[in-house]
Structure 1
Amino acid sequence: MVNSMLNKTPLVNRLPPVHALSAFEAAARHRSFALAADELCITPSALSHRIRLLEDFVGERLFSREGRTVTLSEFGHRYLEVVRSALRTLTEFPLPQRNAQVQPRVKITAPPTFARQLLIPHLHGFASRHPEIVVEIFLSVPLYDLSLTESDLEVRFGAGKYPNTTTEKLFEEPTFAVASPGYLKKAGPLHQPADLCKASLLRSALEPWQPWFQAAGLDWPEPSSGLRADDLGLLLELVRHGHGVGLTRKHFAQQMIAQGEVVQLFDISLTSPPHAYYLVYQQKPQERPEVTTFIEWMKDTFSRI
């Protein structure tokens, strides 16, 4: 009798609400309830309600909340992969009435500085050759979220070790030290690398100092105090505004150097920095020609910069 009743239970009663799943996925991707709510065109309180609804359904906490910071719980990390797979399956299922109307599109996720300084300035080259393909750009935070989103491909800035993905290096650049003219007037001249002992060193997990110290012949540990920024663009802005000395790369700093806003210190560059830009994807791109086309354009464009 019980088995008979179970067999008659509507399937919908055993499925989580789809609007709650999309809210969970958006919040996990943005690591922010406010940004996720904005994307879904709902209020933050409505998004929080959907997350609580899903947590009640699964019986586990999906996020850990510390003030305004939102991070996935251990269960949330595991559940996120299932949810993304399900949403991707629904999104990519071919609907006969829609296929003829929908333009081919490519979704790419990239770090903010790469997107602003490199991708967008070169994107007109792709658009002029392939006007039929729609490109959608999303931002990610390097070194934090190492799981592929619903995007077709990602640009990642890191060590290039991303299991269960296809990973191709786009390019790497030498790393060198820069400071603003205003800071040099305040801190005094820095004639040689050892003079950095009297400077404020700006920190970032993306550009560690210790490898550059070794290249400069300095047996110094990684700085453990001072201003820190986990974005290369923000790090360069700190330099420009005179907060201290930072590490950067040519394609990020060349405009500021040309305009005299920052200056390169010393004639020392770390030729093989620990981090580089990589193209990362999981799906078989040959199944979608537009993705293959964009990948080939990315590799061709950024191998020549």
Structure 2
Amino acid sequence: MSARIPPLHLIYAFEAVVRHSSFSKAADELNVTRSTISHRIQTLEKLLNTILFERTTRKLNLNAAGASYYLAVKEALVSLDNLNKINSHNLYKKTITISSPPTFANIYLLPRLKDFLDQYPNIEIAIEIAKSQLDYEISKVDFDIRYGSGVYPGMQSRQISRDTIFPVASPYYVKSKNIRQPRDLENCDFLRSYLEPWSSWFIQAHLDWKEPTQGHRFEDLSLLYHAAQNSWGVALARESLVMKQINQGTLVQLFDITAEPLFQYYAIIDPRKNLSDEASMFIDWLCRT
């Protein structure tokens, strides 16, 4: 055989033909025509100055030279594949650092994040938990996720969530309080949070009630929902954060009446920072999910 190393497209064609024992199937796998595969095998044999196959009307078999060459080809392709895996693993990864309220990071972001990372395997995400929610504090991250009005002087904001809110309670609490219609909530314990005021839902339910001033209060929405699951009372919830509990039956949406909340989740961007392409892609993805 010649010492010249054939081009890879000829070697890949040869390997596919041997594996499938068919020119046609090899052509389908490599997305070329059968005649192209046949031409590549002929070119390979010419370069090697040897015949690789025993051709019959019904079957395609390697001869002794072909079998020997196939073993060498397989060993070389395995080595190339291992080298590609090493190089891929060592590729430089761009890190996107964000800050986020704990409930959003845990309930909303993490279950969806794998989809983004599967699309962009060379990106890593670093998440810092924001201490403030309704009050915005500038951080040193690429961008912030905040729960609020979206209006932050000197900052750019893009809305992520578009939730509506509705009352939820545990099945046990609903049964024990015999909750059938909105006015039945008069005899219930309201679970409160400055993050989720009741007033807008009262208006939609045609209840002339003031904002509750008594009842357990939680300034973390996951704690609010957990208290409702444990039958402490009725909480206002948003679909993007409680659908798992509703589907599992640990929380019940009490009525079909929904309201627009005062606050949503926003990506907050400091225009003085040079936002990377990767961070921009991440924000675009967040606002589409």
Q: Structure 1 length normalisation: TM-score?
A: 0.62
* Aligned residues between the structures: 200
Could you tell me how far apart the structure 1 residues matched to 2:273 and 2:194 are? 31
Could you tell me how far apart the structure 1 residues matched to 2:229 and 2:95 are? 37
Q: Where in structure 1 are there 5+ consecutive unaligned residues?
A: 1-100
Change (3 A) 1:150 1:227: same
Q: In the alignment, what sits opposite 2:264?
A: 276
Q: In the alignment, what sits opposite 2:101?
A: 111
Change (3 A) 1:288 1:209: same
1:136 to 126, 130, 144: 126
Could you tell me how far apart the structure 2 residues matched to 1:217 and 1:202 are? 20
Q: Is the 8 A contact 1:286 1:292 kept in 2?
A: no
* Cα deviation code 1:103-134 (max 9, x no counterpart): 42111111111111111111112211222222
- Supply the RMSD in Å over aligned alpha carbons: 2.0
1:229 to 218, 228, 231: 218
Could you tell me how far apart the structure 2 residues matched to 1:287 and 1:263 are? 41
Give the C-alpha shift of residue 161 in structure 1.
1.4
| Residue 294 (1) aligns with residue 282 (2) | yes
SS in structure 1 opposite 2:257? Answer: strand
SS in structure 2 opposite 1:131? Answer: coil
Q: In the alignment, what sits opposite 2:167?
A: 177
Paired amino acid for 1:292: S
Q: In the alignment, what sits opposite 1:200?
A: 189
Change (3 A) 1:121 1:287: closer
Q: Is the 8 A contact 1:152 1:283 kept in 2?
A: no
Change (3 A) 1:286 1:212: same
Paired amino acid for 2:175: K
Q: In the alignment, what sits opposite 1:87?
A: none
Could you tell me how far apart the structure 2 residues matched to 1:127 and 1:205 are? 34
Q: In the alignment, what sits opposite 1:213?
A: 202
2:138 to 120, 130, 148: 148
Paired amino acid for 1:275: F
Q: Where in structure 2 are there 5+ consecutive unaligned residues?
A: 1-90
Give the C-alpha shift of residue 230 in structure 1.
0.6
Q: In the alignment, what sits opposite 1:161?
A: 151
Could you tell me how far apart the structure 2 residues matched to 1:135 and 1:242 are? 36
Paired amino acid for 2:228: V
Q: In the alignment, what sits opposite 1:245?
A: 234
Could you tell me how far apart the structure 1 residues matched to 2:283 and 2:226 are? 31
Could you tell me how far apart the structure 2 residues matched to 1:259 and 1:298 are? 25
Give the C-alpha shift of residue 233 in structure 1.
0.7
